Structure 1
Amino acid sequence: MKELQKYDIQISSLENKSYEFDFESGDAFFEALEQELIQHGSFKTHLVLTKSSSMILLNFHIHGTVELICDRSLDSFDEPLDIQEQLFLKYADHAEELTDEIELILWDTQQINIARYLFDFIVLSLPMKKLHPRFREEEANEDEEQEGKVVYRSEPSAENPDDETSEPPIDPRWEALRKLNNN
């Protein structure tokens, strides 16, 4: 918990203008969050906080690396980070997360902790398929090879070109019922 306290920003004492903050984070950051997705990494964050009477604008620039495990080989590798995100904290009578970029905070909020925002931005920037860099070129080549292939075709099959206009055979039981209906 003590590790995450360095990400506290006292907003109640700030005047309505822009401020800049710099944070350096390492393995202790990921351990303090008590999660299992990322265990190791180091990154630097440059935060520009712009306070006004009705809201706070946070502009994040995060760069560094995190250690991931390859989905294919189970080898660990460093994934580079270069993230630019923006977050709006609007003052309101209740706290609520409206969207990914807009969050309502109480008028009497004294401080904010940006650790959760940093972790969320990092996790959302990670690739869905975690591939070691040595497999990425191979994967890109496979995608290029499949580019010219047809996956779905709505044209009739070439097996029976004469059958395009003929109807499929009707079950004799349905045919008998149709005759009853026509009487």
Structure 2
Amino acid sequence: MNPLRAYDIHIVGLDNKRYEYDFTSDSSFFAAMEQELIKTGQVQTHLVLEKSETMIRLDFHIVGTVDQTCDRSLDEYEEPVDTEQTMLLKFGDHNEELSDEIELIERNTATINVAHYIFEFISLSLPMKRLHPRFRDEDDYDDDQNGKVIYRSGDDKAENNDADDQPAIDPRWAALRKLSDN
């Protein structure tokens, strides 16, 4: 049996109101997704489905951990996941992805499978740079230092003219300014 069948929601018989679902995703879920980003993990998903005449609103709250490999040391570590995302499924004549948050589905669709939404939202919540927690404080410090641009002209007179509150004007700009004043 396909482990992703547990993520099927039969929408054909649902009334226009709010429904709540809970899903548990483990290693079999990530293996069934046939991808290389996440091998194992333990994630709980709380889904609120609101059905109306024209659309279905899916509100996901995903919490748990996934196992990642550090890009720097190749050590395994657990990356926490805690994300809230919304997906809108509008009824239409064909299936089409309109944007990241909105999809058209055919009016006669009987079942939707939310497994790929859960996986996408987990993937989007992971940091691009996979660092073991022991490297994160060190890396934040490096980013702060490398993010600052320090410029110093070799002219110490500019530092001493702070009392005048008049910035030194490059003579080339002064010549151009005279031309525009005429």
Q: Note whether the superposition's TM-score is higher than 0.5.
A: yes
Which residue number corresponds to residue 39 of structure 2?
Answer: 39
Q: 1:123 aligned to 2:138? A: no
Query: Take 1:78 and 1:3, find their aligned partners in 2: how far apart are those partners?
Result: 23
State the TM-score, normalizing by the size of structure 2: 0.82
Q: In angstroms, what is the RMSD of aligned CA positions?
A: 1.9
CA positional deviation for 1:145: 2.2
What does residue 56 of structure 2 align with?
A: 56
Distance in 1 of aligned mates of 2:102 and 2:148: 42
What is the Cα deviation at residue 25 of structure 1?
A: 1.1
Structure 1: gaps of 5 or more residues: 166-183
Question: Alpha-carbon deviations, 1:53-85, whole Å to 9, x = none?
Answer: 000000000000000000000001000000100
Identical aligned residues as a percent: 54
Structure 2 stretches lacking a partner, 5+ long:
156-170, 173-182
Work out the CA distance in 1 between the residues paired with 2:20 and 2:149.
51
Partner of 1:29 in structure 2?
29
- How do 1:100-139 and structure 2 match up within 5 A? 100-139=100-139
For residue 80 of structure 1, give the secondary structure of its aligned residue in structure 2: strand
Paired position in structure 2 for 1:175: none
Q: CA deviation at 1:146?
A: 2.9
Partner SS state of residue 6, structure 1: helix
Match of 1:144 in 2: 144
Aligned-partner SS, 2:134: helix
How many residues are matched? Answer: 158
Match of 1:71 in 2: 71
For 2:142 and 2:9, how far apart are their aligned partners in 1? 47
Distance 2:148 2:11 in 1: 55
Query: Does the residue aligned with 2:59 lie in a helix, a strand or coil?
Result: strand
Q: Secondary structure at the match of 1:139?
A: helix
Q: Distance in 2 between matches of 1:76 and 1:148?
A: 32
Q: Deviations over 1:100-134 (max 9, x none)?
A: 00000000000000000001111111111000000
* Matching residue's letter, 1:5: R
Once the two structures are superposed, the pairs formed by residues 158-177 of structure 1 within 5 Å of their partners are 165=172
